[in-house]
Amino acid sequence: MSNSITLEDAQKQVDEWIRTYGVKYFGELTNMAILTEEVGELARIIARTYGEQSFKESDKKSNLADEMADVLWVLICLANQTGVNLTEAFEKNMQKKTERDKTRHLENDKLKQ
């Protein structure tokens, strides 16, 4: 696998994996619950690495990159099963944010500190 992958490639790879090894996609509601669980696991690592909480013994084997990839995996599953092209969605979202916020953050005195 290449180090450079597009969102389209990722969506295809996840779909192929599901069809080959996963039998079928879990239902959308199940995947939404799984996504929430994975975000929680990511939050736990962030809180312990960058926040005030200390790691529990059971947290020490956790890996930030792997947890981010788990979140991405389930998000891609949801996109695939709901017909969302993540490349198009991301491009539109970037355009929306740029148009809406092109000066807002630059003019925010709180960010200039």
**Spatial contact of 86 and 7, defined as CB atoms under 8 Å apart:** yes
Assign a CATH topology to domain 7-85: Helix Hairpins (1.10.287)
For the chain, give the mean pLDDT: 94
- Residue 2 binned pLDDT confidence (cut-offs 50, 70, 90): low
Give tens-digit pLDDT for 36-79: 999 999 999 999 999 998 888 887 788 999 999 999 999 999 99
Tell me the one-letter amino acid at 56: K
What is the pLDDT averaged over residues 32-37?
Answer: 98
How many helices (H) and strands (E) are present in the chain, helices listed first? 4, 0
103: its two tokens: 């000066």
Residue boundaries of the structural domains of the chain: 7-85
For residues 34 and 48, give the distance between their C-alpha atoms in angstroms, rounded to a whole number.
21
